[in-house]
Structure 1
Amino acid sequence: MRETPRIHLLPDLLISQIAAGEVVDRPASVLKELLENALDAGSSTIQIQLEEGGVKLLRVSDDGCGIAREELVLALTRHATSKIHSLDDLERVGTLGFRGEALASVAAVARVTLTSRQASEGGQGSAAVQHAWRLTADPGATPEPAALLTGTVVEMRDLYYNTPARRKFLKSDSTEFAHGVEAVKRIALAHPAVAFTVSHNGRAGLHLTRSDSRGRAGAILGNDFLAESRSLDVQAGPLRVFGYCALPAYSRARGDSQYCYVNGRFVRDKLLGHALREAYQDLLHGSRYPAYCLFLEIDPATVDVNVHPQKTEVRFRDARAVHQFVFHAVQRLLSSPLATQIAGAPVGNAAPLATTSGGEHLPPPDGAVAHLFLGKTPDRPAWRPASQGSLHIGEPTTTGRYLAFVDAARSPDGQAAALPATAADDTQAPPLGYALAQLHGVYILAQNSQGLIVVDMHAAHERILYEKLKRAFDEQQVTTQSLLIPAVFPAEALDVAAAEEHGEALHQIGFELVPMGPRQLAVKSVPVLLLAGDPAALARALLSDLRAHGVTQLLTARRNEFLADMACHGAVRARRLLSLTEMNALLRQMEETERGDHCNHGRPTWTQLTMADLDRHFLRGR
């Protein structure tokens, strides 16, 4: 007969080793915990030395406040900490560490030595401590005198020496070192005023001097990230979000350039991740990942950081408020008017989430949170587009004589059209200026107050159509246009069946497809906004999406992606010659369109070459 197992207390060492399994999974996690302790101690310089990826040796030296001799033994004891004293402290944690188990967990699976020296004993004006004290994590060990100027040195050797099974799961030295450097970068991004130095096997690996937030972001993420990013700094009540959001053109194949912080703590929070994905959704379709470095400041009492062993997840008391705040702040930043960007104004503050000078404010679209609001939309420029033809052409409000930069015989409207006379006064030009010419039927060249603007006309028109299609669907006002001659095209039997089965849904989105035979379809009407596109190509793309995802998904979850595809097919194609009137109409609509600086796939729609850029290229002034 099997003996009944008896309940017993586990030994303290085994308890610590179990706890270490949650906190210490590789040298990088040890490094993270030690760096957090060093920062909580008020350090301004931190030095990290690694050997064999941190497995053989991991030493962290800081110049913080240090640990008193009589507290060294406590520092290596589980659940001993100076950072919280009561439940009230736990509910509003303001430090990076707080559980008091990191050093004890590390000491349970490695050989740890702790050396520390306080600047003074007691309070201000007290006598200086004569020397440092060193303590090993061996049972019964007592502090011994040691040499150290000030601060604390934590030395960990031979990770998992007493649990060899765990050591087998570690990767190569280079891989473990790379994880360690990434841990340093994550922490250093949030603490630019602290200098960090990392060496590996006696060689310098990373050196970060004291800097400001922009300088630290450039040192870690690269100056190309800063060049392709917009600065964000928005506050509403107790919430503040600031940092940098990269433009879609800087998107990545992996999500390895996403840094998100809550009160200075690096987190991988699903709620914040979802808010940021939603903010980028109209700019990045497909498998691309946005890049960003954002910091959220919030009242510590409204966020719980004690929900994950490694403290990389948090829980917000008002999760919906935080989600809407971050979503609207980033979305508004990415949708800022072209006029603001070209003028060189601080984009992050162009439309802050705050009350206007008149005290007016707008609630979020879904009315989720009363204290989160969007500022008044900046006044529109004096130029206003009017609808005419497939490009919805609009004349600039300024008129005058024209300069013949485009051959009248080749102009689609048969007329020579160019800049208004007032374009000579650059200060009166709109942000994207006035069209000069087309380049190879692909790019529009325009002149504004700062120099030359180059516009990808297909990408620009694609974004304009996409935003108009979304608005028409939201308002359920999709205007259709019957074709004088139906466009007949060959189709598979499944496509013909899908057109017949979903005829009503197709009509709802502005298409009328009629079977002309067992393998032929005719397009009899299309949305007015897509008249410039090839009706047959539009119908094929529509039927392909319909068969792949079904009509319900097409009109709900995948609606925006479907509309983006339609806009791509319906946008003016490359090699099509436009008159200057049409080019100027396109420029004016770009200025009025949200997210008009990127197409639906994240590509830029325009670029600016300033007079200084051109002078530098042609060596003028030398």
Structure 2
Amino acid sequence: MPIVELDPFLIDQIAAGEVVERPASVVKELVENALDAGARRIQIATAGGGKTLLRVTDDGNGIPREELRLAVRRHCTSKLSGGLDKIATLGFRGEALPSIGSVARLSVASRAKGADDAFEVVVEAGHCEGPKPAALTKGTVVEVRGLFQSVPARLKFLKSDRAEAQAITETVKRLAIAFPGVRFELSGPDRSRTLFEAVAPEAALTRIGAVVGEDFAENAVEIDAERDGVFLSGFAGLPTFNRGNSLAQYFYVNGRPVRDRTLVSALAGAYADMVAKGRYGVAVLFIELDPALVDVNVHPAKADVRFRDPGLVRGLIVGALREAFAREGVRGSTANADGLLGRFSGGVPRQGGDASSKAPAPAATPRFADLAPGAALGRDVSSRPRLDFGAYRPPERPRTPFEAASAAYRPLETQPQGAGETAAAYKPGDSSGKLTGQDHGFGESSQTAYRSEEPAVAAHAGERTPEEPATHFPLGAAKAQLFGNFIVAETEDGLVLVDQHAAHERLVYERLKTALYGKALASQLLLLPEIVELPEDDCDRLAEEADTFRSLGLSLERFGAGAVAVRETPAILGQCDVKRLVKDLADELAEFGTGDSVKSRIDHVAATIACHGSVRSGRQLRPEEMNALLREMEATPGSGQCNHGRPTFIELKLADIESLFGRR
């Protein structure tokens, strides 16, 4: 068959297959055009899940009459004056309107700012009519009817009207988070309406809560970090506040909603060993950087981006979130308390009460609140703190020093006072803070009954004076042990219920990681090197990361054109499937640019050791042991959940307890 030039209409239909995937894609393109035009009020009306009707109305700057026909012609745009290296708008390709017009009936009515009249053009089957006069006071109205009617093959692959309508709602929500200063209204044929009122910059968290959920503000920590000209801001949910899917993960690069694999992988790394398998963290993250350092022209849909230095972005996200969780200290999700209250009250939701009945919400930050494309780099950022986020390391805990060689699973032991001496347990009521007795740790030899008349006193130097009650601590003072596994502690304004096994498991796990990663991991030399055959590209990527793997105890090197030789493996892994490990690493490097398989396997071994080496359910604890466990939890990052992602404690405020008895 000879080479021929395709018909322009057919070219438009082919191109539309990439730009217009479904009705939600049309909404995304049209709303982005409205935002680029400076709109402050945007209305979206749909029918038939967007297949029958899509109408987007805005109060933006409008389009002059002489430019209306150009607006619906391919590769015509007003947004690329600075070139592809300085993209400061959401749209820039000049493909959306002509692509829509090739697969549907498209009408564009607009009145430019300062103009006396409005005009309209109509595009159907690639043919444009107009401009002709229209009735419109300001802004632009874009109407799309009969989407994909001219392409039946594409139409039959669309989902149900309900599913398509849900996809449109999700698209509007993602844009609404990025532009809290804009009013969004989405309506359907059944008179249902989704409304996001415009909010002030300092109330950005209100808009986020309207999209993600009202309980997000109570269970989120603020993120604010910078490294090498890349700024990260937003909010991340506590590890114990998680979802069963990743739909509540929102990423924005210079104000543009994206779904990038690098960002998704980085967020998963930040929540690693803190959420259960199959659960996902909740986060709204904004990344701001020089447009020249990120390529948004990867796909016509503009949902994917490519960073010049993906490792920098990944490290910033993982380090910033880990540091934020550690800075937050011991804090549990209010969702767990709500669930417990619901069981107590037979399903009655938490009462209103006063402000003390809920965990304090993090302060909203105005820095990204009114973010618009291009504004990210025009602000004064001289006052931003420059934080150095390296690999995460749990902080030192001087109150309970750890000797890995002799006491790997005894985090409640105290420092021996001399050679041959044994650390002793605290004696309740001893205000001097000295140690008495001969028992230590969780020893089975001398379990004593709890004496409620002896108040538990924390005698940790530098935190509380002996005269201060232990209820001043975040997790309070231990009052009782229930069913051999749950510690009941009293705080200043409520009570805390602690799962002793889950809590101790987390403490042991963090100490094991500190001991493991404090220096290069021990490796075991293979009697015969393991030769693993791989594609040459995979071999090159593995060789580039050889130094990183060597610090984790895995030694490998190139072995010819299409193979690598593994000479040493991490000793803690014991006998492992070397070929499978190396192939998994190669796949990760190809997809995400990181090789976390070795570290994740080491962490899994450490988690297993911690699970079997921690205090078991049914162990009777003395009051001093329970209080020591609480103090250790307060000093350990991530102690709000165990290694499997389950919560280690639940806190009930006094106001919540009083409401159960009708006192409020």
Q: What TM-score, normalized by structure 1, do the two folds share?
A: 0.75
Alpha-carbon contact 1:46-1:63 (below 8 Å) kept: yes
Amino acid across the alignment from 2:447: P
Deviations 1:516-573 (A, max 9, x none): xxxxxxxxxxxxxxxxxxxxxxxxxxxxx97896799697541112221222222212
Alpha-carbon contact 1:463-1:599 (below 8 Å) kept: yes
Instruction: Tell me the equivalent position of 2:24.
Output: 28
Instruction: Indicate whether 1:132 and 2:126 are aligned.
Output: no
Instruction: Tell me the equivalent position of 2:107.
Output: 113
Deviations 1:210-263 (A, max 9, x none): 123211111111113333332323234532222222223333332222211111
Give the superposition deviation at 1:453: 2.5
After superposing the two structures, state which structure 1 stretch, 180-189 or 439-448, moved more.
439-448
Structure of larger gyration radius: 1
Deviations 1:402-458 (A, max 9, x none): 9xxxxxxx9814684641296774598333232222122222122334432222111
Instruction: Indicate whether 1:598 and 2:637 are aligned.
Output: no
After superposing the two structures, state which structure 1 stretch, 211-220 or 15-24, moved more.
211-220
Instruction: Tell me the equivalent position of 1:191.
Output: 179
1:334 is paired with a residue whose SS is helix
Change (3 A) 1:467 1:308: same
Instruction: Indicate whether 1:240 and 2:236 are aligned.
Output: no
Q: Which has the higher contact order (CA 8 A, sep 6+)?
A: 2
Alpha-carbon contact 2:330-2:633 (below 8 Å) kept: no
Question: CA–CA distance in 2 between the matches of 1:477 and 1:552?
Answer: 23
Instruction: Tell me the equivalent position of 1:66.
Output: 62
Q: What TM-score, normalized by structure 2, do the two folds share?
A: 0.71
1:287 is paired with a residue whose SS is coil
Between the aligned residues of both structures, percent identity stands at 42
Give the superposition deviation at 1:62: 0.5
Amino acid across the alignment from 2:316: F
Any unmatched runs of 5+ in structure 1?
121-128, 350-356, 367-373, 403-409, 480-500, 503-544
Change (3 A) 1:206 1:443: same
Q: 1:271-310, aligned counterparts within 5 Å?
A: 271-310=262-301
Alpha-carbon contact 1:248-1:603 (below 8 Å) kept: no
Q: 1:334-483, aligned counterparts within 5 Å?
A: 334-338=325-329, 346=362, 362=388, 364-365=390-391, 383-384=399-400, 390=410, 392-394=412-414, 400=430, 412-413=447-448, 416=451, 418-420=455-457, 425-426=468-469, 429-475=472-518
Change (3 A) 1:177 1:428: closer
Instruction: Tell me the equivalent position of 2:48.
Output: 52
Instruction: Tell me the equivalent position of 1:325.
Output: 316
Give the superposition deviation at 1:478: 11
2:504 is paired with a residue whose SS is helix
1:588 aligned to which of 631, 634, 637: 631
After superposing the two structures, state which structure 1 stretch, 431-440 or 594-603, moved more.
431-440
Question: CA–CA distance in 2 between the matches of 1:265 and 1:102?
Answer: 16
CA RMSD, Structure 1 to Structure 2 (Å): 3.7
Alpha-carbon contact 1:28-1:183 (below 8 Å) kept: yes
Alpha-carbon contact 1:336-1:595 (below 8 Å) kept: no
Give the superposition deviation at 1:173: 1.3
Instruction: Indicate whether 1:570 and 2:613 are aligned.
Output: yes
Alpha-carbon contact 1:385-1:396 (below 8 Å) kept: no
Instruction: Indicate whether 1:41 and 2:78 are aligned.
Output: no
1:601 is paired with a residue whose SS is coil
Instruction: Tell me the equivalent position of 1:270.
Output: 261
Instruction: Tell me the equivalent position of 2:75.
Output: 79
Instruction: Tell me the equivalent position of 2:549.
Output: none
Give the superposition deviation at 1:278: 1.0
Amino acid across the alignment from 1:112: L
1:566 is paired with a residue whose SS is helix
1:558 is paired with a residue whose SS is helix
2:608 is paired with a residue whose SS is helix
Amino acid across the alignment from 1:58: L
2:487 is paired with a residue whose SS is strand
Instruction: Tell me the equivalent position of 1:558.
Output: 601
Instruction: Tell me the equivalent position of 1:225.
Output: 216
Amino acid across the alignment from 1:147: A
Change (3 A) 1:348 1:275: farther
Give the superposition deviation at 1:286: 2.4
Give the superposition deviation at 1:282: 2.0
Question: CA–CA distance in 2 between the matches of 1:187 and 1:65?
Answer: 19
Deviations 1:325-384 (A, max 9, x none): 1111112122335268899695999xxxxxxx9x99756249xxxxxxx9xx99x89855
Give the superposition deviation at 1:103: 0.2
1:472 is paired with a residue whose SS is helix
Question: CA–CA distance in 2 between the matches of 1:112 and 1:563?
Answer: 60
Alpha-carbon contact 2:16-2:103 (below 8 Å) kept: yes
Question: CA–CA distance in 1 between the matches of 2:659 and 2:273?
Answer: 36
Alpha-carbon contact 1:385-1:589 (below 8 Å) kept: no
After superposing the two structures, state which structure 1 stretch, 221-230 or 589-598, moved more.
221-230
Amino acid across the alignment from 2:38: G
Q: How many residues align?
A: 521
Question: CA–CA distance in 1 between the matches of 2:128 and 2:502?
Answer: 72
2:651 aligned to which of 598, 608, 616: 608
Change (3 A) 1:98 1:570: same
Give the superposition deviation at 1:178: 1.4
Any unmatched runs of 5+ in structure 2?
334-358, 366-382, 415-424, 433-444, 459-464, 528-572, 582-596
2:304 aligned to which of 296, 299, 313: 313
Alpha-carbon contact 2:428-2:623 (below 8 Å) kept: no
Question: CA–CA distance in 1 between the matches of 2:627 and 2:402?
Answer: 12
Deviations 1:254-286 (A, max 9, x none): 222221111111111111112111111121252
Change (3 A) 1:396 1:200: farther
Amino acid across the alignment from 1:207: L
Question: CA–CA distance in 1 between the matches of 2:37 and 2:329?
Answer: 45
Instruction: Indicate whether 1:149 and 2:137 are aligned.
Output: yes
Deviations 1:41-89 (A, max 9, x none): 111111111111111111100011111111100100111111113xx43
Change (3 A) 1:435 1:386: farther
